[in-house]
Copies of this chain bind each other. A is one copy, B any other.
């Protein structure tokens, strides 16, 4: 554990390029694994993350009731293909796990193209891409392929094999808890149920894992809880099993689609104006890069569960191009070329900046509220008396002195002053050191 409590330098990436390359390497490593909402793909993914960060891996048995849901059977798959009459594997799970509808039940059959066709999924509008499809909660099977390939299939009999199992087992998720000075928690949640798709959501996994790794090494006010969970059922499971602990979450972010070339997007929490919402907007506004703020909606990722009315946690969603707004979403085109190391690093840096404000935000009190205290004799005022004032730090100190009346946090002051939080925080530190502010 290094660094003074809450110094902003600890919340900055020492080398964004190194972090970006590291996250990209992790994505490349995890890309081939066939994940789903249960099964060995998730286990293997979590196992690899365990090398990086302290992680508890939970196994929740099939059939466990979690609110209105039931933990499903565990799905695993060894092989799957469609062979033509010459015995050639024309569709092959070994080439891409997207070729099999995720959660397909076992099949071994021969059938005519006409019958097979009803089990084949393509994207006519993107004829070269293979779609990603699932059948989690209805027992079915299917294959995904490019529309171009489908168009070329000749009539005839095909041999279909899906060597999968759907049996009682477990739902697996990872939890990384980093205790801080306070029991209050900040939640970072990402879904880990997608197979070979990079932006959605290997990017979220990579950014979250590197974030946890960074935080594990610095002094933290808040405790942090990282959830690496299958989408929907994972969040529901965690909430059901931790119902009495959920209220400790003071702020939260769902991280998804965090590596594409688009600009940062933040979807507000259901509370719309929670501190997390204000902080993210503050950071993005002062980032000098384009960004997008979206209102809360009950579509999206696991913020749907965290923000359900019975919990109503202040959890927003950080992404770059948000889900469903990029054509490559849920297709084979969301591949290793679609995510960029420098964008992963930018996402990580933005989230660190967000957390660093949450860590440092506080209410200060001006000890000299009657008129301004004399900054000059304390060495806090430049020699430039009589000149046009342009010193940002002096301005920030005057803002802090003026608004530190017990009603405004440093974030509120930064918002009203329209100055970056760091500037207000630095001013508050100077004033605190000088005994002007407590």
Closest CB-CB distance, A97 to chain B, in whole Å?
A: 14
A225 to chain B, nearest CB (A): 17
Asked, given contacts A138-B376, A235-B371, A395-B299, whether A307 binds B386 with beta carbons under 8 Å apart, the answer is no
Q: In whole angstroms, how far apart are the Cα atoms of A137 and B42 in the complex?
A: 68
Question: Is the C-beta of A401 less than 8 angstroms from some C-beta in chain B?
Answer: yes
Chain B CB within 8 A of A69 CB = yes
Q: Is A383 an interface residue (CB 8 A)?
A: yes
Given contacts A309-B405, A401-B298, contact A67 B368 (CB under 8 A): yes
Assess whether A68 is in contact with B374, with CB atoms less than 8 Å apart.
Answer: yes
Interface flags for A221-255 (1: CB within 8 Å of B; 0: not) read 00000000000100110011001000000000000
A127-135, A149-157, A342-350: which one contacts chain B? A127-135
A395 to B324, CA, bound (A): 14
CA of A399 to CA of B386, assembled, Å: 50
The closest CB in chain B to the CB of A70 belongs to B374
In the complex, are the beta carbons of A299 and B389 less than 8 A apart? yes
Does A274 touch B at the CB level, under 8 Å? no
Q: Identify A298's interface contact among B69, B368, B398, CB under 8 A.
A: B398
Q: Are B371 and A402 in contact (CB-based, < 8 A)?
A: no
A311 to B370, CA, bound (A): 6
In the complex, chain B residues whose CB is within 8 Å of the CB of A417: 297
Nearest CB in chain B to that of A369: its residue: B310
Contact with B along A193-209 (1 / 0, CB 8 A): 00000000000000000
Give the residues in chain B near A388, CB-CB below 8 Å: 324, 329-330
Residues 349-384 of A at the B interface (beta carbon under 8 Å)? 366, 368-374, 376-377, 383
Q: Mark A169-203, 1 if CB is under 8 A from B, else 0.
A: 00000000000000000000000000000000000
Asked if A26 is an interface residue, CB under 8 A from chain B, the answer is no
Establish whether residues B389 and A324, one from each chain, have CB atoms under 8 Å apart when the complex forms.
yes
Q: Which B residues are in CB contact (< 8 Å) with A240?
A: 370-371
Residues of B within 8 A of A374 (CB): 68-69, 137
Residue pair B137, A385 in contact (C-beta under 8 Å): yes
Please name all residues of chain B whose beta carbon is closer than 8 Å to the beta carbon of A135 when the two chains form the complex: 385
A311 nearest in chain B by CB position: B370
Given A270-B402, A330-B388, 4 more pairs with CB closer than 8 A: A67-B370, A236-B371, A309-B366, A310-B369
Please provide the 3 A-B residue pairs with the shortest distance between their CB atoms, ordered closest to farther: A310-B369, A298-B398, A310-B370
Taking Cβ atoms with an 8 Å cutoff, the residues of A that contact B are 66-69, 102, 131-138, 232, 235-236, 239-240, 243, 270, 295, 297-299, 304-305, 307-312, 324, 329-330, 366, 368-374, 376-377, 383, 385-389, 395, 398-399, 401-405, 416-417
